Structure 1
Amino acid sequence: MTAQMQVTRALFDEVMVPNYAPAQLIPVKGQGSRVWDQSGRDYIDFAGGIAVSSLGHCHPALVGALKHQAEQLWHLSNVLTNEPALRLAKKLVDATFAEKVYFCNSGAEANEAAFKLARRWALDNYGAQKQDIISFSKSFHGRTFFTVTVGGQASYSDGFGPKPGAILHAEFNNLDSVKALITEHTCAVVLEPIQGEGGIIPGDDEFLRGVRQLCDQHNALLIMDEVQTGVGRTGKLFAYMHSGVTPDILTSAKSLGGGFPVGAMLTTETVAKHLKVGTHGSTYGGNPLACAVAEAAIDTINSPEVLQGVLRNEQLFRECLTAINDKYQVFAEVRGKGMLLGAVLNERYKGRSRDFFLASADQGLLALVAGVDVIRFAPSLVITEQEIREGMQRFEAAVKQVTELQPA
């Protein structure tokens, strides 16, 4: 019998491509908003797999859907369709502005499809000269070469040779900067309702309305990247619903599958018709396993109980962070909506978000950063009050650790 392999963090450095630098701890079990590492130590999870684990770990509705579908049908090519995909698409259409849905495996793939669709829509309707895509500085839309170039962080796209062209970057929440760039050659403007990786920066309602009006004036599509904000994370099923500004194309992933890889692009029939048969595709997109789990996630999340609970949890998070800040004076403000919040470090601690991230892990809390100045929280949408309060006690201990052992 082969001896059981010893799995340690050192094995990562031995066998994995070094594009990640994971923490030393290796979680092996999760339940609700708590995970345990190899030694049995528990951690409260305020990270949610970077806004992915929308119902925490091993939620019974998701586990049940996966087990049931695993015994029915795993995969079909897109030469055929399947029942879970059709049910999920119908529920997304019924709950949103959209009339058509395209399934894929990730947020980057959803955005890739959205950008290709926008270019094809413009080509068919207006000609090849209408190709410009306007995005925003500090935005993030994925890691494919197209999506990372549309994203407004050059450090992610530099170093890989010539970049895709006809991509321009305006300043988020600055409508004049959009006016300066948008022309009859613009095919789409793409934005996140709340910039995630850029620092948890909400789009002002007036700004979002202004971008919508500019798109209408210049016959351009408005694409909203709701990969991080979507599926209940802000207290509505999608964040666009807070502002009343409706996009032409919306992308979703992360919370959609609750941890199972799945992505979706939602759009109108008028726009969707330009992705004719053969113009785009995904081998695993819309597979029965992913769609069955995502359907269970939508069924669970899209309820008044869960969505109202997200906003109640936001208030508790804010109250706890205010109490911590009153004692230690480390935050300039708390930004965001629902269970996507960013604690912005003040001038004394600017640039040190990673210190707080590492100290949190030391104290048994999983948190995130959003750049060097923001500590990000993106926990389960159904995290309990007890888990929030216990996690905040651990976070306070982390703040104390940083401020006392590593003073500004």
Structure 2
Amino acid sequence: MENISKEAIVKRGEAVLMNTYKRDEKLLVSGKQAWVTADDGKDYLDFVSGIATNVLGHADEGLVEAITQQAKQLIHTSNLYWTLPGIELAEALVEVSGLAKVFFANSGTEANEGAIKLARKWGLEAKGESAVEIITMQQSFHGRTIASLTATGQKEMHHGFGPVVPGFNYVPFNDAQALKHALTSNTCAILLEVIQGEGGINLMSDAFIETVNQIQKEANVLILIDEIQTGMGRTGSMFAFQQTSLQPDIITLAKGLGGGVPIGAVLATEATARHFGLSAHGSTFGGNPLATAAGLYIVKAIKERDLLANVQQQSRYLVEKLTSLQQSFPVIKEIRGKGLLIGIELDVPVTEVIRLAYEQGLLVTSSKHNVLRILPPLTVTKREMDYFLTIFKSVLEKLSEKARQF
């Protein structure tokens, strides 16, 4: 960084990187726990966490050590050979999920692609060659590769990428009657998020859960749960479905699973997984020793540090304080979410809130429907929560004052 201006670095990036992200001129150079440091030396409280990925924050010493030691031994071999870290992580995930088998990928979208393939393979072999249709929810988000993008129930995201993959039907989230009406003999699976993260932090209702359970028992379809954003302790349990009566046939993981190291996973019941036989699916990098060593450390850290209890405690504190703020600032329309996946629906532009927060040393991001999305690391402290609340209140005061001037 010495003798190189931020402007020069940004220009270099603009010259060679595709223009798919709005980064402005934010340049981060280092991080520690819940904090990151920019090129000018200014520290920021990071309540984005790599979009729900850095569950232990930045530069966690144990995670760094696990990655370092594994890199000294084996980084990659391909899945033509057994390696111990992959087996140990699969064992750990089976233990904490109650599912039976694991397939490792490199990302959330790849995990969902694998789940879609497995569901269609099951449908063909268990119900017949036409049973390949999957029902997904409107406002859902399942990734950006072509099948997972098609599964995403946001038509505006499909624009420009057609033809999309056939065989997907969409119903309104939490509409039990619409879900029942969408079922046909060709339905092989229902793909769900317990909490729609990108769609606006929308929680699945108890009535809808009851309907899904009934369909699973009576209609001979698989239940696929996308836990990519909600998994690995984010909602206060290891997986969000564990706070419901849902019993998924398949779940997908990524984001927090590697603590920042790219890894995804498909977990399935024994009866479902057996439909993936030899050569049915594959991944060159999926489950390599480096990524799985990181994942294994994450699972152990969540349990050994009792981070689920911290998530629950900090969540209660945050929601209580936000609810109190809402009394003074009616621009807060609704507070929703679970654990450390909290959405604040606002009556002021969320982009302006994000900008003003950044100016005061806070990183936050958004979701659909003008929702501010709060995603601190699972290790967040009360002091850091108070720092967030102080800045958020200051931002709301500035916006309120600005509104009074017009």
Q: Secondary structure at the match of 1:302?
A: helix
Q: Secondary structure at the match of 1:75?
A: coil
1:390 aligned to 387, 395, 400, which one?
387
Equivalent position amino acid for 2:287 in 1: G
CA contact (8 A) 1:184 1:219 kept: no
- More moved, 155-164 vs 256-265: 155-164
Superposed, 1:202-221 pairs within 5 Å as 202-221=203-222
Q: CA deviation at 1:4?
A: 6.9
Superposed, 1:246-395 pairs within 5 Å as 246-303=247-304, 305-346=306-347, 349=348, 352-395=349-392
Change (3 A) 1:292 1:58: same
Equivalent position amino acid for 1:268 in 2: T
Q: CA deviation at 1:41?
A: 0.5
How many Å separate the matches in 2 of 1:295 and 1:326? 43
Q: Secondary structure at the match of 2:73?
A: coil
- More moved, 298-307 vs 285-294: 298-307
CA contact (8 A) 1:309 1:382 kept: yes
Q: CA deviation at 1:304?
A: 7.5
How many Å separate the matches in 1 of 2:43 and 2:306? 28
Partner of 2:66: 65
Change (3 A) 1:195 1:30: same
- More moved, 279-288 vs 353-362: 353-362
Partner of 2:115: 114
Equivalent position amino acid for 1:389 in 2: D
How many Å separate the matches in 2 of 1:379 and 1:80? 37
Partner of 1:403: 400
How many Å separate the matches in 2 of 1:326 and 1:170? 35
Superposed, 1:107-256 pairs within 5 Å as 107-256=108-257
Q: CA deviation at 1:391?
A: 1.9
CA contact (8 A) 2:345 2:369 kept: no
CA contact (8 A) 1:363 1:395 kept: no
Q: CA deviation at 1:60?
A: 1.5
CA contact (8 A) 2:142 2:149 kept: yes
Q: CA deviation at 1:249?
A: 0.2
User: Structure 1 vs Structure 2: percent identity of aligned residues?
Assistant: 38
- Per-residue CA shift, 1:315-361, capped at 9, x if unaligned? 12112322332332211111000000000114xx3xx2111111111
CA contact (8 A) 2:35 2:58 kept: yes
Change (3 A) 1:215 1:184: farther
- More moved, 14-23 vs 220-229: 14-23
Partner of 1:94: 95
Q: For the aligned residues, what is the CA RMSD?
A: 1.6
Q: How many residues align?
A: 402
How many Å separate the matches in 2 of 1:321 and 1:241? 26
CA contact (8 A) 1:97 1:246 kept: no
Q: CA deviation at 1:18?
A: 0.6
Give the unaligned 5+ runs of structure 1.
Answer: none
CA contact (8 A) 1:43 1:365 kept: yes
CA contact (8 A) 1:145 1:157 kept: no
- Per-residue CA shift, 1:235-287, capped at 9, x if unaligned? 11001110121100000111111111111110011111111111111110000
How many Å separate the matches in 2 of 1:363 and 1:405? 17
Change (3 A) 1:53 1:191: same
How many Å separate the matches in 2 of 1:144 and 1:261? 16
- Per-residue CA shift, 1:126-151, capped at 9, x if unaligned? 21111110001000000001001111
Q: Secondary structure at the match of 1:8?
A: helix
Q: CA deviation at 1:5?
A: 8.9
Q: Secondary structure at the match of 1:135?
A: strand
Equivalent position amino acid for 1:200 in 2: I
Change (3 A) 1:4 1:10: closer
Change (3 A) 1:61 1:206: farther
How many Å separate the matches in 2 of 1:199 and 1:259? 23
TM-score of the pair, normalised by structure 2: 0.96
Q: Secondary structure at the match of 1:357?
A: helix
CA contact (8 A) 1:359 1:402 kept: no
How many Å separate the matches in 2 of 1:85 and 1:76? 11
Q: Secondary structure at the match of 1:246?
A: coil
How many Å separate the matches in 1 of 2:384 and 2:327? 22
How many Å separate the matches in 1 of 2:403 and 2:259? 36
